């Protein structure tokens, strides 16, 4: 019988794949690390529940590993685009619950979407968007593209908003933008009242259309 802990498999143990394994492990998840390269597999031993040298482009391997029982599988294969695409296809045909895949470029991402990837990730592009938005406005603590044209961002309340409320912020009044929480020190206030007075250092967490949200942030 499988553990109640969330279980993840990471296929491809380059820098991105290893980072994913480390963060999942820190979060208390059970992690299966897989790669064709034995040295890379060895480097994942210290922060993975189980490691294995295997080729997941083969249906027999995926079936043997019972990857369909995992909560999520991340395909982090970097340089071999064909292996990335074939692995994704095999995983989807094995009825894996959720398959996330790292893409190298738009063409790669388009093919992965067509073969059924549940989410396609372009790490450099997504990190670039986050950093650029923080550079444009230091009040933006973080900017996370969520896929499907949506993004989540965290805004830090500065002195010019002291004593004002969420209703005074044009961004929060937009119909497409949802304020999902307000963080004040260790306290998290879900769905805060728009009349709640803001304090310096408060963090407002909002979700909305990625392009429009980025534009509105620049106009703050």
pLDDT computed for residue 182 by the predictor:
86
pTM above 0.75, yes or no: no
pLDDT digits (tens, 9 = 90+) for 19-35: 899 888 888 889 999 99
Give the residue-averaged pLDDT of 99-104: 92
Domain tally, the chain? 2
The confidence band for 136, taking pLDDT boundaries of 50, 70 and 90, is very low
pLDDT over 70 percentage in the chain: 80
72 and 160 co-located in one domain: no
Where in the sequence is the domain holding 155, given as residue range(s)?
A: 125-219
Residue 182 lies in a domain: yes
Residue 1 lies in a domain: no
Contacts of 202 (CB under 8 A, 6+ apart): 156, 157, 182, 183, 184
3-class SS at 30? strand
111 and 136 co-located in one domain: no
Give the residue-averaged pLDDT of 99-120: 90
Beta bridge pairs of residue 75: 11, 101
52 and 11 co-located in one domain: yes
Residue 30 lies in a domain: yes
pLDDT computed for residue 5 by the predictor:
74
85 and 101 co-located in one domain: yes
pLDDT computed for residue 125 by the predictor:
63
- Mean pLDDT score of the chain, rounded to an integer? 82
**Distance (Å, whole) CA 178 – CA 34:** 39
Residue 163 lies in a domain: yes
Q: Which of 121, 148, 164 is the last residue of a domain?
A: 121
pLDDT computed for residue 179 by the predictor:
81
Tokens of residue 34, six digits: 């897989």
Instruction: Specify the higher pLDDT residue, 196 or 2.
Output: 196
Q: Are strands 99-102 and 72-75 parallel, antiparallel or unpaired?
A: parallel
pLDDT digits (tens, 9 = 90+) for 139-198: 455 666 777 778 787 777 777 777 788 887 766 666 677 788 888 887 888 888 888 888
pLDDT computed for residue 47 by the predictor:
86
Q: Which of 78, 96, 121 is the last residue of a domain?
A: 121
Q: Are strands 203-209 and 178-184 parallel, antiparallel or unpaired?
A: antiparallel
CATH (domain of 135): 3.30.70.1450
pLDDT computed for residue 2 by the predictor:
47
CA 201 to chain CA centroid, Å, is 25
Residue 166 lies in a domain: yes
Q: Which of 86, 121, 156 is the last residue of a domain?
A: 121
pLDDT computed for residue 1 by the predictor:
37
Distances in whole angstroms, Cα of residue 177 to Cα of each of 9, 46, 107, 123, 195:
34, 42, 30, 25, 17
Residue 2 lies in a domain: no
Lowest-confidence pick of 65-69, 117-121, 140-144, 206-210? 140-144
Residue 111 lies in a domain: yes
pLDDT digits (tens, 9 = 90+) for 54-83: 999 999 999 999 999 999 999 999 789 999
CATH (domain of 99): 3.40.50.720
Residue 137 lies in a domain: yes
Q: Which residue has the tokens 């499988």?
A: 2
Instruction: Specify the higher pLDDT residue, 84 or 142.
Output: 84
């Amino acid at each position: 019988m499988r553990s109640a802990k969330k279980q993840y498999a990471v296929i491809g143990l380059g820098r991105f794949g290893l980072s994913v394994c480390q963060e999942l492990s820190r979060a208390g998840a059970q992690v299966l690390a897989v790669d064709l390269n034995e040295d890379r597999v060895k480097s994942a031993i210290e922060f993975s529940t189980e490691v294995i040298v295997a080729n997941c482009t083969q249906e027999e391997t995926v079936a043997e590993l019972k990857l369909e029982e995992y909560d999520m599988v991340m395909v982090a294969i970097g340089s071999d685009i064909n292996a990335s695409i074939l692995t994704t296809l095999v995983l989807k045909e094995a009825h894996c619950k959720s398959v996330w895949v790292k893409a190298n470029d738009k063409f790669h991402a388009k093919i992965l979407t067509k073969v059924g990837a549940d989410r396609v990730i372009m790490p450099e592009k997504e990190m670039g968007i986050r950093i650029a938005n923080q550079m444009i406005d230091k009040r933006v603590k973080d900017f996370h593209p969520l896929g499907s044209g949506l993004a989540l961002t965290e805004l830090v309340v500065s002195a010019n908003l002291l004593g004002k409320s969420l209703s005074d912020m044009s961004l929060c009044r937009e119909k497409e933008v949802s304020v999902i929480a307000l963080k004040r020190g260790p306290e998290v206030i879900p769905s805060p009242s728009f009349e709640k007075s803001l304090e310096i250092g408060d963090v407002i967490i909002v979700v909305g259309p990625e392009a429009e949200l980025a534009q509105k942030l620049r106009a703050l």
